[in-house]
Amino acid sequence: MFHTKAKGKFDIFMEIVKRINTSIDLNETLSLIMSGAKQLMKSEASSLMLIDHETKKLFFNVATGEKGDILKETTIPLHKGIAGIVAATGESLIINRAENDPRLYRNVDHVTKFSTRNLICVPLIVEDHIIGVLEVLNKINQDSYSQADLGTLKSFSEFAALAINQRNLYQKMENKAYETSVLYRLCETINECDTIDDLLKENIRIVCEALQSDRVSIIAREGDAFVFKAAVGIPPKVLKNRKVPVDGNVLGYMLSTGTGVVSANIHEDERFETTTSIRYKNSSFVATPLKLRSKIVAFLCVTERKRKMPYQQWDLQLLEMIAQQIMENYSHSRLTEEFKNKQKMEAELAITARMQQDILPREFPADGQLDIAACTIPAKIVGGDYYDFLPLGQGKYGAIIADVAGKGIPAGLFMAISRSTIRVHFAHTHSPAKILELANKHIFADSRSGMFVTCFCCVLDTQKKEITYSNAGHYVQYLLKSQSRQIIPLHAPGKPLGVFAHETFHEKSLPYDPEDILVLYTDGVTEAVNAKFEEYGERRLKTKIRSARGSSSDGIMKLIIDDINKHQGASEPFDDITLMVITMKDPQRIEAKLRVDSQLQNVSVILNEADRILKEVNASKEQSSDVLTSIDEAFANIVHHGYENRPDGIIDIDMVMEEGGVFCVTFTDEAEQGVPMPLQPTLGRALLDKKGNLGIGRYLIHNLMDDVQYERTGIQNHLTIKKKIT
């Protein structure tokens, strides 16, 4: 004081300016402006208020003296009080008889217990824009402020306004940098957190730090109510009662306006009728709605600021930006979680499907009595179709094909139950009708969900050479007779299993011959559709079965599956496709099945195989020669005349020793039907004049073999030649 007294006003002014210019912090600058004003104007107190353009109120950004803390939460509306008038009009005021002036806003004095005698209030103006007011109160040792005092404070305020503006700009830049760093940290949490709960917890922890606050919560919509979803600094007692009321309070305000809220004192904010029951130590409050596709799904509320300054508009802006990022994190995390769940589901489905495939038999041990191939192709990963095969002893074998109504995991489970139920009953009886009857009772009892299963069940007696079958609502199945190439439909009426509690089933038997082929299938085969929704159909299936001459069961199965695939094209399979092919075998039977391309050198493979069989059955040199020559001629004809020397034609050769010692060779090819070679060709000396082929192949075959038959079915040619050996 001693020094300042000695100094002139100008010196003091310059000293204050110097001090202010060394500060870059806005709050410090404001403090320096106020203490400077107090010192310069020889006043008891000073105050600086800035305008909050959002609320149209003046607030004490910094108040000096011990009353400062109280003033922080006090706001003054524009036009109210001296400061309000100055802020609104931009005109300075000197009041030297304050106690009698009605314009004085007594609230502040009341709160601070300060008694104002006189004052000067000047606006803080930057580029014609009023940003606040600066006041000095109670001139020390004097009764009034002079016009000269007003001039001094005006000059000082011009400088102060510039300084504030500069610090504001700097602060804004800093804020931007701060926002960016906060957003970056929020982004990082996407990769750090595994669950949505973890993510929200971590995000509000960042909000706590970013807004330097002790209490942050996310209150989310859950049905009709709002509940605490994540919180920091909220007493457990409050959290326990998770529901948060939204009527008339700040949350209700945000819900109706859709905007965020910043309030210096939430308890006294007239925008809200009621405040929440949570009492804050610090009444400043900032909150923003969290929106998903422009719908409010939650609120992000921040209170209990660590700093003494109340939240400001900038804090709300920061919070709104944070809110956006939190929602993006939330959406991202939810998608990730959904994706993970889906992957988990798919993995589980795949495992179920594999388990289901695993319980289906892959090998069919039948002592050479049966040649079996089977497959099931589920439409959805887990299907309801299945086949089964059981050796029953004494040359008997059980074969089952079934289709559970529905698809997916429930069908898969029901299928597993049905399968074991039917299997169990095979231990007690070998009667297919009885097995279906018993199985039906158990399956009906298990079928609470109204599921049912169609099933064709048969027992193959390889000693009696007999098929006994029964049908529970399944399609008619087929038996291809090897000799006549006729398909016998295996009819037997019956209801699906699991529909009625008590049900009896018809049972039928029929004899079979070696090489007869039993084809069991589900409706996925015949009902496989192409792009035009045309079904594969029974007719095409039957034609394919009939054409499959000289192939193994596996070959026939693949032939049919290939044909179904060809029919379906790119169409998505609609239903499970299950197929079981059983060729009846005679283990004593001597046979060979070959498939070769239409190339002449391949004849040796066929002749080698024929030679092996002929030696095995002790054929004479002449018999062997006749057969081998005939095979050579037949093969040459198919290659030359059938496939016209194209190398990619397919020729199936089926050789077998039939009953009665007849060696039988069947050639099957898919060449065009050609003109047969003459049965009375040029012979003898005249052959010397023939160019190219002699045209005597067919004539030779007819002369060397005992029987020659030709047949065309569909796109196939079948040539069967026979010779009695023993």
Partner 1 sequence: MDLQAIDCNDIKIFVFEGRLDIGRCTEVETELYRAIDCGNVKLILDLAKIDCLSSSGLRIFISVLRKLKETKGRLGICNIPPHVFKIFKVVDLDKVFEIYDSTDQAIACFQSSA
Inter-residue contact 520 to 469 (CB < 8 Å): no
Least distance to partner 1, CB of residue 624, Å: 7
What residues from 188 to 207 belong to the interface with partner 1 (CB under 8 A)?
none
Binding flags for partner 1, 251-290, as an x/- string (CB under 8 A): ----------------------------------------
Closer residue to partner 1 in complex, CB, 255/596? 596
Least distance to partner 1, CB of residue 615, Å: 11
Measured CA distances, 221 to 241, 275, 291, 303, 325 (Å): 15, 19, 11, 20, 18
Inter-residue contact 98 to 119 (CB < 8 Å): yes
Question: What b/e string do you get for 216-254 counting C-beta neighbours within 10 Å, with b at 16 or more?
Answer: bbbbbbeeeebbbbbbbebeeeeeeeeebebeebbbbbb
Inter-residue contact 669 to 651 (CB < 8 Å): yes
Closest Cα to residue 211, out of 288, 291, 290?
288
Inter-residue contact 320 to 182 (CB < 8 Å): no
Task: Give the residue, chosen from 152, 325, 602, 668, that forms a contact with partner 1 under the rule CB under 8 A.
Answer: 602
Q: Which residues contact 476 (CB under 8 A, 6 or more apart)?
A: 489, 490, 491
597 near partner 1, rule: CB under 8 A: no
What residues from 605 to 624 belong to the interface with partner 1 (CB under 8 A)?
607, 621-622, 624
Closer residue to partner 1 in complex, CB, 530/599? 599
Closer residue to partner 1 in complex, CB, 505/667? 667
Closer residue to partner 1 in complex, CB, 7/615? 615
Closer residue to partner 1 in complex, CB, 297/596? 596
Task: Give the residue, chosen from 202, 575, 632, 658, that forms a contact with partner 1 under the rule CB under 8 A.
Answer: 632
Closer residue to partner 1 in complex, CB, 394/601? 601
Q: Which residues contact 601 (CB under 8 A, 6 or more apart)?
A: none
**Angle value at C-alpha 476, between 652 and 539, nearest 5 degrees:** 50
Closest Cα to residue 204, out of 167, 172, 230?
230
What residues from 446 to 485 belong to the interface with partner 1 (CB under 8 A)?
none
Residue tagged 């090489």 (tokens): 515
Closer residue to partner 1 in complex, CB, 17/696? 696
Task: Give the residue, chosen from 181, 259, 618, 625, that forms a contact with partner 1 under the rule CB under 8 A.
Answer: 625
Spatial separation of the C-alpha atoms in residues 330 and 686, rounded to whole Å: 96
Spatial separation of the C-alpha atoms in residues 587 and 594, rounded to whole Å: 18
Least distance to partner 1, CB of residue 631, Å: 9
Inter-residue contact 636 to 576 (CB < 8 Å): no
Least distance to partner 1, CB of residue 700, Å: 6
Closer residue to partner 1 in complex, CB, 133/705? 705
Contact stretch for partner 1 (CB under 8 A) within 44-52, 156-164, 626-634, 714-722: 626-634
Inter-residue contact 640 to 719 (CB < 8 Å): no
Contact stretch for partner 1 (CB under 8 A) within 384-392, 409-417, 632-640, 709-717: 632-640
What residues from 633 to 652 belong to the interface with partner 1 (CB under 8 A)?
633, 635-636
What residues from 676 to 715 belong to the interface with partner 1 (CB under 8 A)?
683-685, 687-688, 690, 693-694, 696-697, 699-700, 703-704
Closer residue to partner 1 in complex, CB, 220/704? 704
Question: What b/e string do you get for 632-649 counting C-beta neighbours within 10 Å, with b at 16 or more?
Answer: bbbbebbbbbbbeeeeeb
Q: Which residues contact 189 (CB under 8 A, 6 or more apart)?
A: 199, 202, 203, 206, 329
Contact stretch for partner 1 (CB under 8 A) within 81-89, 233-241, 628-636, 655-663: 628-636
Closer residue to partner 1 in complex, CB, 587/695? 695
CA 390 to chain centre: 40
Q: Which residues bind partner 1 (CB under 8 A)?
A: 600-604, 607, 621-622, 624-626, 628-629, 632-633, 635-636, 683-685, 687-688, 690, 693-694, 696-697, 699-700, 703-704
